[in-house]
Structure 1
């Protein structure tokens, strides 16, 4: 079972610029909907994109062994800007890292004897993060356009400021 999981992950990583043959910055909502899984659709956080973009969440998807969830975010034009795969096997971190090291340039690696493990990779206009939190049984593999996390942080900050202003105005 473990070898089947590893083979699935390796093939998806070695032959695609994103998970499941999808490409960050190129694939669209319809490409992702073709995955053989049930999904929930919603909007991103207010303010990330002018029309709030789109978000698809796949749960209990059996595209790969040990894949717990898959999440995809899209800009207003329906172009894939973010993908996160959540694996429920903490031991998959090393196999995923080995595969990513063969294909991408590593820019950051934090691997303490005890604690959170993190590997980051750079691509033109994109970054990949592999994260294994210490007290978690999950491993997170994220693909994103460089400006996506900046947009999310900016939208969260704006929402926080608006909440603070509303509270201040009530006093």
Structure 2
């Protein structure tokens, strides 16, 4: 079993990948049953590795960012659990998707929301028509937690 510190080091991003590294690190930790809110970081055992990373790398700050962020799947779960008034909290992945307007309208329209297809794992094909998704749709499900097919919105609860 990997330790949380090892996982964080693996996902420690280079500057252009910071935006994608935080959700990937969180997904890795949460899917292994690690509570990111309770991780304590002791980097004293990796002094040689810290020298390789350089003095400007802040593992504690990266851990803080990982612990407060949510994966797209966690954001979909929060959206689905929200009351009809409004989606709960900040949902940056969903808000940045092309389908955010429809998601907002669906919070006040139960009939519209009932047409959503909710999946537990990111599928490679549409659960309704069984047609293989284009790569763009699969990537949208992973990056935003939402895609469309068969004139339906598909939401992925996958971490």
Relative contact order: is structure 1 or structure 2 higher (C-alpha 8 Å, sep ≥ 6)?
Answer: 2
Larger helix percent: 2
TM-score (normalised: structure 1): 0.25
TM-score (normalised: structure 2): 0.27
